[in-house]
Amino acid sequence: MNNIRFGIVGPSDRAHLWEQRLRPIASVPEVILSKEITTLGNVDACIILSDDEQALPIALEAIRMGMNIFLVSRIPTDRKQIELLYHTAEEANVVLQFSHWATFSPTSQWMMEQIRKPKLIHIRKDIPHSVYLNYDAPFEYLWIEDLGLVLKWMNSQVHHIEANMI
pLDDT at position 62, please? 93
CA–CA distance, 89 with 35 (Å, rounded to integer): 22
φ/ψ of 151, rounded to 5, equals -65, -40
CA angle 70, 71, 77 (to 5 degrees): 135
151 versus 94: which is more confidently predicted?
A: 94
Rounded (10°) angle between helices 144-154 and 106-114? 40
Position with higher pLDDT, 13 vs 166: 13
Query: What is the structure's pLDDT at 83?
Result: 92
What is the mean pLDDT of the segment spanning 59-77?
A: 89
Residue 82 is predicted with a pLDDT of 86
* 82-123 tens-digit pLDDT: 899 999 999 999 999 887 766 767 777 788 888 888 777 777
Specify the pLDDT at position 74: 79
